[in-house]
Every structure is written in structure tokens, then in C-alpha cells.
Chains A and B, each alone.
Chain A
Amino acid sequence: MSKTSTRDAAFFRETMLPPEPPPIREAGAVKWLRENLFSGPVNTLLTVLGLAIIWFLVSHFWDWFAHSVWNADSLAQCREIIAATWGEGARGACFAVIRERWHQYMFGFYPPSLYWRPLLAFGLLMVALAPILFSETQQIRRIVLVATTVATLLFMQVLGVPTAAFLLSAIVMIGATILAERHAGWLLIFSALYPLIGVFLLWGGTLWAPLMVLAGIGLGWLGWRLVGIVSPMLAVVAGILVTLIWWIGFTGEAAGDLQNLLPLGITSVQSEKFGGFLLAITIGVAGIALSLPIGIILALARRSDMFLVTSLAVIFIEFIRGVPLISLLFVASLLLNYFLPPGTDFDIILRVIIMVTVFAAAYMAEVIRGGLAALPKGQYEAADSLGLDYWKAQRLIILPQALKISIPGIVSTFIGMFKDTTLVTFVGLFDPLKGISDFVRANFAWKGIYWEPFIFTGAIFFIICFSMSRYSMYLERRLQRDNR
């Protein structure tokens, strides 16, 4: 081998060449297109198929959307406007029905002068949920609360609620926002009180009723303290018993008497007036709030080592999961009167909520049982070896982890339940999809209008359900404690 050095070579480069730009087909949009859309015959075929689907949808629906009419009194007038503007035979959407009837899709037959109450209830719901759902940082909570306040007040302004009610709502909402800024912990107390506030705002009636329900809790606490002197275990039983006896036996009468003595309350609204998304959200929120604790108890019962408790839980869960929700709703509307003492007749919405809750709780129990089963056995043994009793172990070690594992399942159960609230239409309630739409179509002016209400209600359901599923993904990431 000859010795060659750079010195002997005829030519050598002393500076680095600047990099050449990649060939045109390997860069930029062309590269992306080649890799993602036309990388092979099958891929190209799929792209063409996809474009064909898009073309089909656009060509069929674009002019219908583009020709939409927002200002009209009836479907016939819509058609006239469309024919006048785009020529005879043109198709077009008649969203005027949404413009005219949107408040019915939202509130059903709730008295228009009282719209501020469900709006305020919904705004306060967000406030009550803030410490539970949006507790990540002060900033997220602030954004959520301010947005809720602004949205609530804006809606009230649009709906033209009475000035006094508007001012009251503004004070309450802004007060809650400030409270969250100053003493975030106090919001939890508000969250605990929210069920009473929400029910009071929605159904109205005497203020004494929620106060008497609160009094029941107070009496239960008193009983717990008094019996607690004798035996701590009996104290819990005594507290619960006192509360239940007060609620079942005396709350109604006491509230009635006090109302006679000192009338205090707001206009009461009957359940028949509820409809649209107000009904769906009321049933959905109540069902969600109630089914989670019941589901946890059922899941624990099913995994308990007491034979009787386990078998009762299994029978209950499998029975509820084995029948369609519609049959349970029929039980609520037709059979509940048979099962209760003669003469009892309570609210149909309450009956439906009970059945929806029972239905969702059975599913929830199975989801949570999955989470409990997925937890490594070492966690249970660690809790035992620390000497924790059953409830402490569940509360401090098992459930926080098991619930975290089951978040996707829990949220998808919630979504399913919210979608299932539309089935209440078959027991004569006015759900937004069918009940209200049928009612709107029953009017001669809107006879034969199908697609616009479907699109409107479908879009709202989509937004709510989709954001719930995105929230569960966010929650999953937030609660991820292990490093991956």
C-alpha cells in the first residue's frame, strides 16, 4: 500500500459542502402525501375511497346547508323563501324552527319567566363541581368559574329574565367565584349543599322543605354524638336511623306546618313542565351523582367474603344488567304503584331517576369491581399489615387506586347513562330528541320538519358526550402517578 496523505492528492476539499435540499418528492407536502396517502396501491385505493365518501357527503348536503333559512314562521314560509332565493326546486335547511323553538328544546314547558332558575341551577352546578372536577390548579378553576359565570349571565340576558332575578344570579355567581378565589375549601361545603339548592331552584316551592331536610342531618348528627357517649358503633346506626326516621316521617309535615306559619318560598314548578335538555341533564346529573356511591357499595359487596352479601349483590347486579332499560322504565311508570303502599303516588321524574340510578349503579359496580380486581394483591395485604380496619383500608388505600384505574369505564358508563336519558320519552316525558320534536311537529306550522331538530339535538348531545370523554382522558393523565 502506498502512503498517501492529503499533501500528495491533487485536490481535496477543505470546507464542508452545504447540505443539498432533499429531492422534491422527499420533502414537504409531497413527501407527506406520498407517505400518508399514496404509499402503495392499497393506500391509494383507500385515499380514493375516502375522497369519494367526502364527495358524496358534500355533494348531497352542501347546498342543503348553504341554503339554510333562519328567519321564518313556518316550514311553508321557509320553502317559499328558498324557492324565491335559489330558484324552484332548490333544497334548503329550515333552521328557523330552532330559532323559534330552541327554548323548548332547552327547557321544555318550564315557565319562560322562570328560566333564570334552571340557568342559575346549572351555573351553580359548575361551581359545585369545580372543587371536585377542576381542582388541578387555581388557574383552571378560575377559568372554569369565570367562563361559567359569564355564560350564565349572558344566557340570562339573551332570554330576558327579570332584572331582580338577574341581579340576584349575578351576585350569587360572582360571589361564588370570589369565594373560590379566597377560601377554596369552603366550596366543598357548597358542593355538599348543592343537591338541596339545585332541587329547590328547579322545582321551587317552600324553602322550608330543604331546610327541614338539613335539619334531619343535624338531628342525625346530634343522635350520633349522644349515643356516641355509650357506644361508638351503635352511634353510627343511631345517627342514620334518626335521620331516616325524620326524613320519612316528619320532614313533609314539618315543612308544611312551618310554611303555614311563615310562608317562605318561590313559585313551584310541576314535573310535567320539565322537558328538553333540562330534563335530560336533571335526570343525568342526579343519576350520575347517585349511581357512583351505590355502585361502589355494590362492588364492595360483590367482593366481600360474606356469602349472603355477595350473593345478594350478584343477584341484583346480574338482574339489572340483564334487562333493557326500557323495561325498567316501564316498571317505574306502570308497576311502582303496585309495589308501594296503596295511595302512594310520587313524582314520575323521581321514579325515573330511581330506575336510571339503579340501572347505572349495576353497570358502575361491574366497572369498579374490575378496578378492584386489577389492583395488585400486595396493596390489600399492605393495608392489612398496617393494621387498618376494613373501611379505613378501603378509604385510604384500595378505593383511591381502584377508582383511578376504573375512570375510563366510569365515564363511559356516565356517557351511556346520559344518552339513555332520551328513553324517558317512552314513559311520556318530553325528552329533547323525540318528545319535544314530536310536540313541535304536532304544530301545523312545523309539520314534516325532521332533519333540522335532529341535527340540533344531535350536535348538543355530541358536544356534551364528547367533552365528557375528553375530560376522562385528561383525568387519566392527571392522576397518572407512575413514571412511564
Chain B
Amino acid sequence: MTDAPLPADQPFRVSMLVYDRRYRSMTFQVIVFILVMAVAWWLVNNTIQNLAAQGKDFNFGFLFQRAGYDIPQTSIPYNSDDWHLRATIVGLLNTIIVSVLGCVAATILGVSIGVARLSKNWLFARLMTIYVETFRNIPLLLWILIIYALFTEIMPPPNAYRGEDPAWSKILFDQVALTNRYTAIPALGMTNDPGTLDLGARITVNWAVIAFLVAIIGGWFIRGAILDRAQAIQDRTGIRPTTWWINLAVMTVPSLLLIWYFGLHLLAPELKGFNFAGGINLGNAFVVLWLALTLYTGAFIAEIVRAGILSVSHGQSEAAFALGLRPNRTMNLVILPQALRVIIPPLISQYLNLMKNSSLAIAVGYMDLRGTLGGTTLNQTGRELESIVLMMLIYLILSLMISGGMNVFNSRVKLKER
């Protein structure tokens, strides 16, 4: 909007602050600024008065006091003599673990269901529709409670697996045992353990993990280089060299060699005394939360995927076929790139939702960030203000990191217009 310039000789009057477009927005912003500052001052002032009245202050020193409580499932060493700060970090890591695993599983589930809903099979497509509608229209809390009740009420105690002819038997090739307190899954064992790298603060990383990471990331980069070279040859000669088996080898052989070198094998959980040992006993709180988040978010992702695929017009695949592209290349080169543009932005917000919904861990007692910092620490120290503010800040930073990272990805796949 451009305004006609006023005659230069018109002197400034106070009423122009309101009636002149050039000044009005400035006036308005100043008023808004003053109002916001007044409200902020009012809130801060109230808080200071209230804190003073209760004899409290605002400081985060409590983070460096002894926590004095245990956390059932930790990814870094932790005991009750550690600081509240370490308990907070343990909780944060638990939040991250369940969120990442949930995102991965929900994506796999959601993509499969979304594609299955488009299947020509009438029965299967209807079943998937029922799944999606049921999970989307019922609160997540109910799903968490239902799955929790399934695990605590239906699953047997560990000793049901005892004896010659046990009432229950392990599933998935005799590797996983479901009980009413935990799910026993196999652990990874090594015959040739390379030892661990000490990162300080009692955090250690096994060299084998580092070796695998290097092998996989290195393989990924080499694959990229091979594809670039194939593209260059294709551009020059018009013939694309066969690369798939080289790529496959680059991606898998180093890892297979490492598995052979370290002697990696599964250690199946065995019943010893009253409990399973030898494997990893995942607390049911974690398994339930992960399952519920996966099933719930999976339904939403299925809808997103379906809408994304439907958004690519039929003419696109017909055009690709007319060009003589084979079906799988049509999918990879024509359909998916266009569908992804539609899918990625809502998918990001589903990941964010999943991360935030993981705070429903409160319903099953999984010790995530809300359970440690916003739960036991808050109750023990009585520092509501500091705990909740810190907790919200951490969640906020996590959210901004996820959306920031995914936005970068999104900007790479989005349509490049003029």
C-alpha cells in the first residue's frame, strides 16, 4: 500500500499520530509495546512478591543437590547419589529415546497403512480405514491406558515361562518374553569386545558402536560418490553403469565384516530364579508408551501419506509411462518427489506432536523429562517455578530443533520454482 505524499508544507499535528497512515502503525506499536511491558512487569512483580511471601527465591542451585531417588530405566549410569541435574539429563534422554523410536516405528507403520488404504483390495482397504478412524478419534490417553492394562492384566508373571510345559512361551524365534512387569528382549553380545571409550562424567561408548557408525556413515558417503560418478558417465555417454550391487556391497560388507570381527551375537533372555536375565528387560512403562505413541501417530501419518500420494495427479504417472519409464523408476523419479513435498510439512508436525505427547508418560510412570525434572525433582525440592520453567524451555528447544532440522530437509525437497 503506498500513500499519496502529503503536501510538504503541512505541519505535524498530534492528531496525525492517529489519523495519518504513516504514523498510525508506529503509534499502535508503541501502545502495544507499553501494554505488553506493563503486563510483563505486573506478572514479574507479582511473582517476586509471591516468592518473597513464601520465603523462596528464584535460583537453579537445586540442580546441584543430591537427587536421592532412583530411575528404573537409564541410558547413562545414574544412581540416587547423583545430582538433580543428572536425573534431569537421564529423563531428557528417556524422552528422546521414546520419541525417536516412536517416530521411526510410527513412520514405518503409517507409510504401510497409508499405502494399504489405497490398495485395490476392498477388504484390506476397509480394515485399514477402520484402524485409522478408530485411532484418530479416540484420545491417546485411552490408548495408553488400554495397552497398559493389556500388559499388566493379560500378560503373565515371569514364572509362567517356567517348567517343562510352560503356560506361556517366548515369541519371535524364542527371543522375546512378554511379562506383566517388563518385556525381555535379547541383548547384543560380543566375543571380541574392543573395550570402551570414556567420555567423562561416567559416560562410556563401546568402540564397536563407533566402528559401526564410521562404517555406515562412510558407506553412505561412498555410495553418494558412486552415484555422482554414474550420473556423470550417464551425462557424458548416455549409458548409466550398473551401480546397485556396488552400492549394496559398500553399504553392507563393512558392517558384515565388523559383525564377524567382533563376533556379534544375540543373547536371548533366560529365566533365572524369578526373573529373566541375560537379555535386556525393558520396563513395561516404556514398551506401553512406545506402542501407544506408535499406533496413535501411525494413524495420523497414514492419512498424511495417503493424502500425499493422492495429491499427485494421475497425469503425472501417465506422462512418465508415456516417456517409457518403468514402474519403479516412475515411483522414484516422478511420484515420490512430488508426494514428498505434500507429505513432509505435516509429517514434521506429527513428529513434534509425538515428542510432546511422550509427556503422557505420566500415565504409566515412565521416567521421562516430565517424570524426573517436572515430577520427582519438583516434589522433592518444592521448586515449582524453576522446574516447570526449565522443563518448558527444554521441550521448546527440542521442538525448535526438530522443526528447524526438518525445515532444512523440506527446503531441499520442495518444488524449485522460478
Contacts and interface: CB of A to CB of B under 8 A. Distances in A.
Determine if chain A interacts with chain B.
yes
A337 B140 CA distance: 29
B307 to A, nearest CB: 10
Interface stretch (B68-76, B120-128, B179-187): B120-128
A74 B176 CA distance: 37
A309 B46 CA distance: 25
A433 interface: yes
Interface in A330-374: 330-331, 334-335, 337-342
Contacts of A451: 146, 149
Interface stretch (B244-252, B273-281, B324-332, B392-400): B392-400
B137 A462 contact: yes
B146 A454 contact: yes
B396 A457 contact: no
Given A39-B120, A454-B142, A461-B138, A312 B395 contact: no
Contacts of A50: 121, 123-124, 127
A422 B398 CA distance: 25
Given A49-B124, A323-B395, A433-B142, A338 B137 contact: no
Contacts of A64: none
Interface string B348-370: 00001000110110110000001
Contacts of B49: 341-342
A327 B137 contact: no
A306 B29 contact: yes
B16 interface: no
Nearest to B389: A335
Interface in B114-167: 116, 119-124, 127, 133-134, 136-142, 145-146, 149, 153
Contacts of A37: 121-123
Contact of B46 (A341, A437, A462): A341
B201 interface: no
B258 interface: no
B139 A420 contact: yes
B408 to A, nearest CB: 17
Contacts of A334: 384, 388
B135 to A, nearest CB: 10
B138 A47 contact: no
A450 interface: yes
Contacts of B137: 415, 461-462, 465-466, 469
A307 interface: yes
A36 B370 CA distance: 49
A257 to B, nearest CB: 28
B29, B33, B141, B356: most-surrounded residue (chain A CB, <10 A): B141
A53 interface: yes
B264 interface: no
A384 interface: yes
A133 to B, nearest CB: 19
Interface residues of B, number: 56
A319 interface: yes
A54 B124 CA distance: 10
Given A324-B370, A339-B47, A433 B123 contact: no
A37, A312, A323: most-surrounded residue (chain B CB, <10 A): A323
Contact of A327 (B119, B145, B388, B398): B388
A83 interface: no
Contacts of A192: none
Contact of B139 (A308, A321, A384, A461): A461
Contact of B385 (A233, A335, A458): A335
B153 A323 contact: no
Given A324-B357, A327-B388, A451-B149, A461 B142 contact: yes
Interface string B10-34: 0000000011000001001100110
Contact of A434 (B120, B141, B356): B141
B99 to A, nearest CB: 11
B415 interface: no
Contact of A338 (B51, B127, B362): B51
Interface residues of A, number: 58
Given A46-B119, A46-B121, A454-B149, A466 B133 contact: yes
Contact of B36 (A306, A312, A339, A461): A312
A327 B120 contact: no
B359 A327 contact: yes
B388 A335 contact: yes
A176 B3 CA distance: 51
Contact of B142 (A39, A337, A458): A458
Contacts of B388: 327, 330-331, 334-335
Given A325-B356, A451-B146, 17 more contacts: A37-B122, A46-B119, A47-B121, A54-B127, A306-B28, A312-B36, A322-B352, A322-B398, A323-B356, A326-B360, A327-B374, A335-B385, A338-B46, A342-B49, A437-B145, A458-B138, A462-B138
Interface of A: 36-37, 39, 43, 46-47, 49-51, 53-54, 233, 305-309, 312, 318-319, 321-327, 330-331, 334-335, 337-342, 384, 415, 419-420, 422-423, 425-426, 433-434, 437, 450-451, 454, 457-458, 461-462, 465-466, 469
Can you list the 10 inter-chain pairs with the closest CB atoms, starting with the nearest? A322-B399, A36-B122, A465-B137, A324-B356, A419-B139, A322-B396, A324-B359, A50-B123, A46-B124, A308-B29
22 contacts: A43-B121, A46-B121, A50-B123, A50-B124, A306-B25, A307-B29, A309-B28, A323-B356, A324-B395, A325-B356, A327-B359, A327-B391, A334-B384, A342-B46, A384-B1, A422-B141, A423-B360, A426-B362, A433-B142, A437-B145, A454-B142, A465-B136
